[in-house]
Structure 1
């Protein structure tokens, strides 16, 4: 895989890597892992809510009164 970054993106990544005393590749790989983890959690939560909320809709409506 090849990742093409704009000059500004590459410079920002380089600065971040230097600050953390890590390679640009390490910083980019960590960012990808975090992105995938965070978005996977949100999608899972959305899926659970879509499946479970209808089951409790009547109870939630009564509680809201």
Structure 2
């Protein structure tokens, strides 16, 4: 896989990697892992809410009054 970054993105990644004394590749790989993990959790939560919320809609509506 080839990742093409703008000059600004590459500079920001280079600075961050230098600050953390890590390679640019390590920083980018960690960013991808965190992105996938965070979005996977959000998608799972949204699916659960979509499936379960209707069951409790009436009770939630009453609690909101």
Measured against the shorter chain, the TM-score band is: over 0.9
RMSD, aligned CA = 0.7
The runs of 4+ residues in structure 1 deviating greater than 6 Å are none
Please report the TM-score for the alignment, with normalisation by the length of structure 2: 0.94
Match of 2:43 in 1: 43
**1:9-52 per-position Cα deviation (integer Å, ceiling 9, x unaligned):** 11110000000000000000000000011111111111110000
Structure 2 residues not aligned, in runs of 5+: none
| Gaps in structure 1 of 5+ consecutive residues | none
Aligned length, in residue pairs = 65
